[in-house]
Amino acid sequence: MFLQVIQGLLVQQQKKFAFELLIAVTGLENISVSKTGKVISIVDLGTNVDLGTYDLPSFVDTKTIECQNDNGILHVYGYRN
């Protein structure tokens, strides 16, 4: 299992996110992402293994968090408060 985290600012073509978290989830077929306050937790539902807990920056509005799995990379986006 390969797990890598990269944080940074992102400007995309149509959306301007204040925060992006990229997590390589290659080889995982069924993952769950849950959000509690300013914390995101990721679990592999196939094995029930906790893949990590990540603190969101204080400037991110938690109501704007979006997740997208794109060819083995989990993208977690958020807008500024």
CA distances from 63 to 37, 54, 72, 78 (A): 10, 16, 25, 8
Q: How confident is the model at residue 12 (pLDDT cuts 50, 70, 90)?
A: very low
- Side-chain-facing half-sphere of 9: CA atoms under 13 Å: 5
pTM summary value = 0.63
pLDDT (tens digit per residue) in 25-43: 777 778 888 888 888 898 9
Task: Indicate the domain borders of the chain.
Answer: 5-78
CATH number of 5-78: 2.60.40.790
